[in-house]
Structure 1
């Protein structure tokens, strides 16, 4: 026989363990029970049993999941019901997953399904109605796409303040600059003036694209895009960077190279100087507007001007800032090269000015492409902010054990998506539940428990309530995080799985 060999005998509600002792070289077999008598060397191994009561395993099938709850919105959308149909059904109040309400009304899915069959008569009729409504919704979405009739939040004030205001000012000024620079190029034939005209045209087109991105970014979330359209600003800025490179840098380099290969005499540059001076003033004014807006936004987010620009916190304002900074430098560079051409009579300097403006635009476009690509990939917020959020959670009594896998990513429009795996202290959560109960009544209920079935019923009742309390603790943490300076769009405090 093998030492300490165990044989398990499974019953419906009990488990019995039997153990047999082995045979020792120095003496008779030893009993598994110290109280069992041993009679000489012929004594046989005795069997001792310990009985442990366990619950019978429950099989959960489709009948059990019919008790699932469903919201009124889902009931109307999925089962094609009207609010009046739901008034006759049983209503259950549950803890709300939304921040604006503490509790909301749900219905039993089985009741909703039965009501849908009562209204529509059969599963086939319900399926036909669903398909008809899906087709109507598809046609509506297509019409919104072609006519841009999207619901927006704050649509009227989007271009009256903040980045929208900066972009609209830049569009107006750059459009006027392009018109006057184009006239100056036609009059003088200067390559540098041509580059500046193309520069202003590229700026105008790209800023119009930014305005479209801002308009789209304030669209309300829908079923296809549950986190909204805030990334449209980054997408528009990314396309703008590519446009600056193709239209601005490319054409400037081309015209500069052609000027070096085929130099032509330059006409009087007086009008060109006047237009460049006016452009310098107007571009400088737009640059100051962008700088002031970035300073204000950086101060509100508690970061420096440099970090705000380098991390592309506000892509639309960043594009205006860099384009206008490049425009001011480009005007100075073009004026300097045109001045050298006027003094020496050599058109080569003017062509070099065109190449310089093209290089400047290429640098700006490369920076915009890089920063907006990083933002679209899901860049993390600053390590200091992540550390503060982690410390805030660790200092909470309910989360006194550990926090793992903390992630906080910038979603644009100063919104942050925060996620953490939280190891809650079960004792604190349970105590939070008990503090809201009549402890004397619970003691009375415990004393009345006589059977395992009654014990199971008692534990299931309070266990379900404790799970609800744990969910309420998660909601509380999320609300307290939102009260802090950070603007969270999505908070995910996930509970670590329990390993027995």
Structure 2
């Protein structure tokens, strides 16, 4: 479901930004506005970023094979990291460079054609606003379903592809407003410096978004542990089992937002285990008449111990996966 929601958000953003890029680019060619060029670069960066996000989602959906036995889920973070770096250098870098250059060498602007820039920006604001609302609404519902605070859910558990769409389209709406203000101030004052300042503001905005996305995807590529409340939930399941004496070690890693790997070292209670095997042992005890009978009894009793432990581990894994569906890779070991 999360994968499906993320793909919908990315495709919607990709389609919207394709239309916006064409509108902004055409308007820049008409007006020569630096803020419009910055907005065009912004939309190109968003379009390329969402294309990379879509590639990552498609590649991450491949089934595990012999080479990658835990699957390809990490690919979404690789492509998302590449796109975030692209935003930083292409979106932020080029926009800042153009804005600073415009401060020292202001371009000649045709104020009569600024109405086209305003129309294009209003069109972009509507499209970006719709995509932003759809992505935000989807993640809000997910957070409510998980009973998590929305900002914490976005920061720690939401799919980075969906978060990227929210941040980028939120920044796009803010960037459009910056561009509108700078163009209006330029037209009102007759000074092209406002246009350059607007361009720099949009560049700084893109840089902040890119840095956040780089940090988030770097965390996921390295492999953080599962959320603390989920880890505590797994520990409660284990400690509530009467056969488990102690949880010696619990380690986890997020492979993707809906795929956790959890490794646990367990100490089983020998008294509880002997209680479960007592009836079988008592039934077999009278039949021990010789050393060979005793050896056969020991072998059978050892098999019963191993079978009981294996059955119990299977039950524990089933219960963990029932309560934590993301725990797709469980490794429970008896020590």
Equivalent residue for 1:202? 45
**CA apart distance, 1:353:** 0.6
Larger radius of gyration between Structure 1 and Structure 2: 1
Q: Which residue of structure 2 aligns with residue 334 of structure 1? A: 179
Q: Where is the helix percentage greater, Structure 1 or Structure 2?
A: 2
Match in the other structure for 2:165: 320
Q: 1:277-334 CA deviation, whole Å, 9 max, x = no partner?
A: 1111110000001101111222333322211211253011011111001100100011
| Counterpart in the other structure of 2:211 | 366
Change (3 A) 1:290 1:198: same
Shift in Å at residue 183 of structure 1?
0.7
In the other structure, the counterpart of 1:444 is 286
1:176 aligns with 2:15: no
Equivalent residue for 1:25? none
> Are 1:312 and 1:318, in contact at CA under 8 Å, matched by a contact in 2?
no
Q: Give, in whole Å, the separation in 1 of the partners of 2:226 and 2:147.
A: 13
Aligned to 2:295: 456
Inter-partner Cα distance in structure 1 for 2:8 and 2:90: 25
CA distance, structure 1, for counterparts of residue 276 and residue 144 of structure 2: 39
Q: Are 2:323 and 1:480 aligned?
A: no
Task: Give how far 1:391 is off.
Answer: 1.8
Cα drift, residue 410 of structure 1: 1.9
Flag the 1:312–1:369 CA change in 2: closer, same or farther, 3 A.
farther
Q: Which residue of 2 aligns with 1:492?
A: 331
1:410 corresponds to which of 245, 254, 258: 254
DSSP 3-state at the match of 1:397: coil
Per the alignment, in what secondary structure is the counterpart of residue 488 of structure 1? Answer: coil
Query: How large is the RMSD of aligned CA atoms in angstroms?
Result: 1.8
Deviation (angstroms), 1:384: 2.3
Q: How do 1:54-69 residues align onto structure 2 when only pairs under 5 Å count? A: none
- Structure 1, unmatched stretches of 5+, are 1-153
- Which of 73, 89, 97 is the aligned partner of 1:254? 97
Give the alignment's TM-score, normalised by structure 2. 0.95
2:265 maps to which residue?
A: 421
Moved more, 486-495 or 369-378: 486-495
CA contact (8 A) 1:313 1:414 kept: no
Q: In 2, distance between residues paired with 1:485 and 1:311?
A: 16
Deviations 1:3-26 (A, max 9, x none): xxxxxxxxxxxxxxxxxxxxxxxx
Q: Say yes or no: does 1:214 pair with 2:85.
A: no
Q: Does 1:243 align with 2:243?
A: no
1:354 alignment counterpart: 199
Please list, as runs of the form range in 1=range in 2, the aligned pairs for 1:20-169 lying within 5 A after superposition. Answer: 161-169=4-12
Aligned to 1:286: 131
Give the 3-state SS of the residue equivalent to 1:411 in structure 2: strand
Pairwise CA distance, 1:431 = 3.1
Q: Is the 8 A contact 1:191 1:351 kept in 2?
A: yes
- C-alpha contact 2:230 2:324 (8 A) present in aligned 1: no
Structure 2 distance, partners of 1:414, 1:189, is 47
- Tell me, in whole angstroms, the C-alpha distance in 1 between the residues paired with 2:15 and 2:207: 23
Question: Which residue of the other structure, out of 76, 85, 89, is the alignment partner of 1:233?
Answer: 76
Aligned to 1:187: 30
Name the CA distance, whole Å, in 2 between partners of 1:343 and 1:225. 60
Instruction: State the partner residue of 1:23.
Output: none
Q: Structure 1 runs of 4+ off > 4 angstroms?
A: none
Change (3 A) 1:332 1:312: farther
SS in 2 for 1:421: strand
> Cα distance 1:259–1:312, how it changes in 2: closer, same or farther (>3 A)?
farther
The secondary structure found in structure 2 opposite 1:264 is: coil
Aligned length, in residue pairs: 333
SS in 1 for 2:243: helix
Q: Distance in 1 between matches of 2:225 and 2:141?
A: 22
